[in-house]
């Protein structure tokens, strides 16, 4: 009797355990099927989408993101073209037919090439040339291809986000999939399921800083639903999802000028710039007209383990002798040195192993002459008179200790919104370094030791001098627009929250910068089509190879009526051979002058009789 009770109890417990397991499995299945099919696991996996994907072959025809345009409306982020779209499922439809030959004839491509592409295809693709560019077809060709009615081969309008031959890639940036970043930047959208692990977001450049505005609507996708053998399912063979909204996605109108951007990038490549940057700002507004960074990278295949995709115009570097502009500003504004005061340069300072670039020295020179000749010894003496605290103060007044990109205190859900992605601040002294140490001070005077400046800051310093001493915030985007062209938000011109320098000092600096070109280290620029003014700079890299330098040139043109402030930097250059920075600056001025002359000429038919 007791044994029978034990057996019944054991059977009951086993049955109870099995029942609980079944209840748990049923509950789990309910949760998977109904409770969280779109938000499965902490990774936010969409089970519904993944299930559909197993029976779906899809290709994106438009990302759904808003465009990024230059100030005249040119779109950096793609142009709509008609293209031939090939699905792997078409292989079955083409067996025993001459369909592929007819398609090849329409698009003027060898049949063998199309056959090879179809055989190797594992996912839907666009027909491309050998260099990776899209094979663009006409409207008539598209009609002929679609009239063939071959399942898996269609011709439609396609907009690729990025073009291989496009310019301003570092400014525009790129997009990618990053679930962790999506979850941190868009917690509400992640929680609601509007964004998930498959969502693409801006990873750099304007794509990142303006990502919330560019996100827009769902992408336009062409899909075929297939069976287990990859053949189209009857009644469900093709779907084309296309968003049509009058107001979204939003687009950006930048301050860039695509013609200037193209010419500056061409100059960088012709000179052979391997690493460095060119920044061209409007001399009156401080707006970016061109921003070039090298090395170049492919926006469609980004290797994030390298720094090729980073915008070097916003990264800090030792500025070398262009920092003498700050030393001169502090000395003149504080009245400790007059432009005509004389200094003696014998080539050696006497201690700290500090010397001038000119081995035998410059002899007796005025401050103006020392600036034009970039005399290290004279500026070491001037810096001693000024003092470290004042050097730091005037660097800040000229915007070299601040991020100079445009900032909006509150833009919808975003506080402290910054236009320039990844911009670094710059620095004058490292933390804890004495401003009274003479050895530190004289190295700081020539833009070495702890001094770091971005090319964007350096170009903006020139704008500050041209505008009478007050630094501006640099605009890269002028306006956010609705899809119909109406303004969504406009970014006003803004000054940096610093005191600036006085007009008289700024005017003296302008004249000194002109003397650099007429009588100093910038003499090679004296034959430019515009009269120019500027300052050369050579900075030791601080790396293992002491024979490499960063070569700088900052300046503006024309001298009498400035239109552009320019900064060029050629990084890691040997100490011998042609100066890439001076060469790029000269070519930049030539190009800007030519474009200005061409734009001012009357159009054909409008000339006086």
Q: How many CB atoms lie within 10 A of CB 65?
A: 24
State the sign of the Cα–Cα–Cα–Cα dihedral 272, 290, 498, 210: negative
Strands 414-418 and 220-225: unpaired
- How far apart are the C-alpha atoms of 143 and 231, rounded to whole Å? 24
**H, E, C per residue of 539-594:** EECCCCCCCEEEEEEEEEECCCCCCEEEEEEEEEEECCCCCHHHHHHHHHHHHHHH
Q: Is 321 a catalytic residue?
A: yes
State the sign of the Cα–Cα–Cα–Cα dihedral 565, 575, 311, 428: negative
Name 500's Cβ contacts closer than 8 Å, sequence gap at least 6: 397, 398, 464, 469, 470, 471
DSSP assignment of 33-62, as one string? IIISSSSBTTTTB-HHHHHHHTTEEEEEEE
Which one from 277, 290, 321, 401 is the annotated catalytic residue? Answer: 321
- How far apart are the C-alpha atoms of 401 and 425, rounded to whole Å? 6
H-helix segments, 226-315: 258-271
- How far apart are the C-alpha atoms of 332 and 339, rounded to whole Å? 8
State the sign of the Cα–Cα–Cα–Cα dihedral 493, 499, 501, 502: positive
- Catalogue the active-site residues: 321
């Amino acid at each position: 009797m007791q044994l029978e009770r034990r057996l019944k109890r054991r059977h009951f417990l086993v049955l109870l355990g099995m029942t609980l397991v079944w209840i748990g499995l049923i509950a789990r299945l309910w949760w998977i099927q109904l409770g969280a099919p779109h938000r499965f696991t902490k990774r936010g996996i969409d089970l519904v989408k993944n299930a559909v994907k197993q029976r779906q072959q899809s290709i994106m025809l438009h990302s759904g993101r808003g465009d990024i345009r230059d100030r005249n409306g040119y779109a950096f982020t793609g142009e709509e073209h008609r293209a031939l779209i090939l699905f792997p499922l078409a292989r079955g439809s083409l067996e025993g037919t001459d369909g592929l030959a007819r398609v090849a004839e329409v698009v003027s491509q060898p049949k063998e090439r199309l056959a090879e592409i179809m055989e190797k295809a594992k996912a839907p693709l666009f027909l491309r040339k050998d260099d990776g560019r899209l094979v663009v077809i006409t409207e008539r060709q598209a009609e002929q291809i679609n009239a063939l009615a071959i399942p898996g081969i269609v011709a439609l309008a396609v907009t690729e986000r990025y073009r291989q031959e496009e310019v301003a890639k570092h400014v525009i940036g790129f997009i990618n999939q990053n679930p962790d970043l999506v979850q941190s930047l868009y917690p509400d959208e992640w929680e609601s399921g509007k964004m998930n692990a498959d969502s693409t977001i801006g990873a750099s450049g304007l794509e990142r800083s303006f990502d919330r505005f560019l996100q827009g609507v769902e992408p336009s996708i062409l899909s075929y639903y297939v069976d287990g053998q990859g053949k189209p399912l009857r009644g469900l063979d093709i779907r084309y999802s296309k968003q049509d909204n009058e107001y979204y996605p939003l687009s950006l109108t930048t301050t860039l000028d695509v013609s200037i951007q193209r010419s500056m990038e061409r100059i960088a490549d012709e000179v052979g710039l391997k690493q460095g940057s060119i920044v061209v700002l409007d001399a009156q507004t401080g707006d970016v007209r061109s921003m070039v960074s090298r090395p170049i990278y492919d926006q469609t295949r980004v290797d994030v383990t390298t720094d090729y995709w980073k915008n070097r115009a916003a990264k800090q570097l030792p500025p070398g002798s262009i920092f003498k502009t700050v030393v001169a500003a502090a000395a003149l504004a504080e009245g400790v040195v007059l432009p005509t005061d004389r200094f003696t340069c014998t080539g050696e300072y006497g201690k700290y192993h500090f010397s001038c670039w000119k081995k035998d020295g410059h002899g007796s020179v005025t401050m103006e002459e020392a600036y034009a000749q970039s005399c290290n010894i004279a500026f070491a003496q001037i810096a001693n008179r000024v003092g470290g605290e004042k050097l730091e103060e005037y660097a800040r007044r000229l915007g070299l200790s601040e991020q100079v990109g445009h900032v909006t205190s509150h833009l919808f859900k975003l506080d402290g919104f910054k236009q320039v992605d990844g911009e670094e601040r710059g620095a004058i002294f490292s933390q804890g370094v004495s401003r009274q140490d003479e050895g530190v001070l004289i190295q700081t005077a020539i833009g070495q030791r702890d001094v770091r400046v971005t090319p964007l800051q350096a170009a903006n310093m020139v704008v500050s001098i041209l505008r009478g001493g007050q630094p501006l915030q640099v605009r890269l985007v002028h306006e956010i627009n609705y899809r119909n062209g109406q303004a969504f938000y406009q970014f006003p011109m803004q000054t940096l929250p610093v005191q600036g320098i006085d007009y008289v000092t700024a005017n003296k600096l302008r004249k000194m910068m002109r003397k650099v070109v007429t009588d100093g280290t910038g003499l090679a620029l004296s034959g430019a089509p515009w009269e120019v003014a500027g300052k050369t700079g050579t900075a030791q890299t601080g790396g293992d190879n002491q024979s490499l330098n960063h070569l700088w040139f900052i300046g503006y043109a024309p001298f009498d009526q400035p239109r552009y402030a320019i900064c060029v930097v050629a990084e890691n250059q040997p100490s011998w051979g042609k100066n890439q920075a001076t060469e790029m600056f000269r070519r930049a001025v030539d190009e800007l002058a030519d474009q200005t002359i061409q734009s001012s000429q009357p159009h054909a038919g409008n000339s006086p009789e």
